[in-house]
Amino acid sequence: MAGFVRPAHPEGDSRPRDGCGVFAVFGHVDASAHTALGLHALQHRGQESAGIVSYDNGHFNTHRSLGLVGDIFSSPNVMDRLTGNAAVGHVRYSTTGGTVLRNVQPLFAEFSFGGLAIAHNGNFTNGYSLRRELVKRGSIFQSTTDTEVLIHLMATSSYHAVEDRMIDALRQIEGAYSIVAMTNDTVFGVRDPLGVRPLVIGVLDDSAVLASETCALDIIGAEFVRDVRPGELVVIDAEGLHSVSPFPAARHRFCVFEYIYFARPDSVVEGAGVYEIRKRIGAELAREAPVAADVVVPVPDSGTPAAMGYASEAQIAFDLGITRNHYIGRTFIEPTDQIRHLGVRLKHNANRASIAGRRIVLVDDSIVRGTTSTKIVEMMREAGAAEVHMRIASPPIADSCYYGVDTPEKEKLLASRLNVEEIATAIGVDSLAYLSIDGLYRATAGANRNDEAPQFCDACLSGDYPIRLIDQEDGDIPTQLSLLMEQV
């Protein structure tokens, strides 16, 4: 899910961040425990907050908090309250400021027909327009998330059955999304008509599982069944799982950035193993942009598989020339300007012996703002690199995402302002090359981009937005949606 109000993307972080991860179980005595484990496996999709709602015999139990899954759900007190055979869960990305508990998902609402819990990955591109209409008609919003629009559309729907209300609501919404929802007897899962965001179905013993990625099935030993299809609404209840198609058929446009960066390497996404895809991307990059060098060094961890593919294709030695510190804690402070300007290495440090005197190919998955790249190149120089050649395992990111990924505004994207040569100069490398968009498609789809009917959503790379940006076009999203300032 996304807030209508885009929180400032933290300056120091040059990676786009995925929206969220969702998870649901129906029909298992340990529903909440499995959900907690599943969310833990999806933690890379959101580190800001997490929540679980379970259903047990007339009551919905919930626990939502800021923090990591392993902290929030590590207490027996908490888990003991989350009883029941069905549960939905959510992890959310981390932002600076503005985060409030009432935005933490799953959201919950009481309708005349009973309760509904809902968790959402993605973004409704007409969410603000719908909200404005709903408020005019007397709906009171609790959160500033677009997810809540779906709740009010369902509450005010003239249909009777929950499933019909949900279809009625979904048909009014445009956007890129994967949603899981739960009532007292049913779990729902749905993907947007183009299938931009991922959602998979698994089975554990006799119970059904929904998750953003297959790695969340693996952690609980569930078997992967299939992806939820674009535009498919799956309905899971005591009768089993059935499938509804509320939307007209549309071409599949899965988010290509899931392959490049978001998905965990051990997940199988839309039929392909992510780790393998990333190595293939690296190999394409080696073919497109070879360079004479002594060693290929990844920017860990996200650049590692592509670097391995590059090294293997280019027949250059691969070496872990940079160590990453995984103990991050809340938000370390760079205490004074003096220290900040020293170029502090909270996350990365060079393995000097692997770098000194060598011509290195530095492989990273993407460049967003360029600040991290600049610091890492400096670090390579200080460690004695003879030459630094940067190779990026994706085409330049020159446009913002409005489909559930947290990217900076267009003007802060390095590639929207500079061409490749200028970027090379800005980050201080001896040479720089990006993967071509066709190279990316060959590595992922097995063929060049079909410009008539592109196989993926690549809006951030191509500027080709497959879903209407209604709120953006309206242009009247307030800079601060909520009038209420509440401290967590």
Just list the catalytic residues. Answer: 20
Q: Pick the binder of a copy of itself from 238, 249, 453, 484 (CB under 8 A).
A: 484
Of residues 172-211, which lie at the interface with a copy of itself (CB under 8 A)?
none
Cβ distance to a copy of itself smaller for residue 134 or 397? 134
Give the nearest distance from C-beta 258 to a copy of itself in angstroms: 15
SS3 readout for 253-300: CEEHHHHHHHCCCCCEECCEEHHHHHHHHHHHHHHHCCCCCCEEEECC
DSSP per-residue letters across 193-219: TT--S--EEEEETTEEEEESSTHHHHT
Cα separation of 399 and 175, whole Å? 17
40 or 191: whose CB is closer to a copy of itself? 40
Nearer to a copy of itself, 44 or 389 (CB): 44
Cα separation, 150 vs 187, in Å, equals: 16
Site for a copy of itself in 349-378 (CB under 8 A): 349-354
Binding mask 35-64 for a copy of itself (x = CB under 8 A): -xx--xx-xx--x-----x----xxxxxxx
The pattern of x and - marking residues 231 through 270 that bind a copy of itself according to CB under 8 A reads ---------------------------------xxx-x--
SS3 353: helix
Nearest approach, Cβ of 56 to a copy of itself (angstroms)? 9
Question: 211: burial class by Cβ within 10 Å (0-12, 13-18, 19+)?
Answer: buried
Sign of the C-alpha dihedral computed for residues 93, 396, 199 and 114 taken in this order: positive
Cis peptide before 301, with omega less than 30 degrees from 0? yes
Give the count of beta carbons closer than 10 Å to the beta carbon of residue 18.
28
Distance CA 23, CA 315 (A): 41
Among 137, 238, 271, 453, binds a copy of itself (CB under 8 A): 137
Q: Decide if 9 contacts 25 (C-beta within 8 A).
A: no
The CA radius of gyration of the chain, in Å to the nearest whole number, is 23
CB of 450 to a copy of itself, least distance (A): 26
Number of residues that bind a copy of itself (CB under 8 A): 105
Beta carbons of 383 and 442 less than 8 angstroms apart:
no
Taking CB under 8 A as the criterion, the residue among 11, 75, 160, 243 binding a copy of itself is 75
Helix (H) or strand (E) holding 427: helix 420-427
Nearer Cβ to a copy of itself (21/395): 21
Of 8, 135, 161, 447, the one binding a copy of itself by CB under 8 A: 135
Shortest distance, position 477 Cβ to a copy of itself, whole Å: 15
Separation CA 326–CA 308 (nearest Å): 21
Contact (Cβ atoms closer than 8 angstroms) between residue 187 and residue 88:
yes
- Name which of residues 265 to 284 contact a copy of itself (CB under 8 A): 265-266, 268, 273, 275-276
Find the farthest-apart pair of alpha carbons in the chain and give their distance in angstroms, rounded: 72
> Please, which of residues 12-31 interact with a copy of itself by CB under 8 A?
29-30
Smallest gap from residue 278 Cβ to a copy of itself (A)? 10
Cβ distance to a copy of itself smaller for residue 133 or 387: 133
Q: Is 384 in the site for a copy of itself (CB under 8 A)?
A: no
Rounded to 10°, the helix 371-382/420-427 angle is 50
Instruction: Name the residue nearer to a copy of itself (CB basis): 26 or 108.
Output: 108
How far is the C-alpha of 88 from the C-alpha of 31, rounded, in Å? 9
Q: Which of residues 327-346 bind a copy of itself (CB under 8 A)?
A: 327-333, 335-336, 338-339, 342-346
Residues 77-106 that bind a copy of itself (CB under 8 A): 78-79, 81
* Distance of alpha carbon 334 from alpha carbon 483, whole angstroms: 32
Q: Please, what is the minimum distance in Å from the beta carbon of residue 266 to a copy of itself?
A: 4
Beta bridge partners of 63: 52
Q: Give the helix/strand (H/E) hosting 62.
A: strand 59-66
To a copy of itself, the closest distance from the beta carbon of 112 in angstroms equals 5
User: How big is the CA angle at 100 (ends 97 and 105), to the nearest 5 degrees?
Assistant: 125
| Residues of this chain, 141-160, that bind a copy of itself according to CB under 8 A | 141-142, 151-152, 155-157
321 bridge partner residues: none
Q: Which of 11, 114, 161, 446 forms a contact with a copy of itself (CB under 8 A)?
A: 114
The minimum distance between CB 193 and a copy of itself, in angstroms, equals: 25
DSSP H helical ranges for 119-187: 127-136, 147-155, 162-172
Give residues 424-463 in contact with a copy of itself (rule: CB under 8 A). Answer: none
Give me 356's structure tokens.
């000194």
Mask 287-326, x = binds a copy of itself (CB under 8 A)? --------------x--xx--x---------xxx-xx-xx
Residue with smaller CB distance to a copy of itself, 75 or 245 = 75
Q: How far is the CB of 152 from a copy of itself (least distance, A)?
A: 6
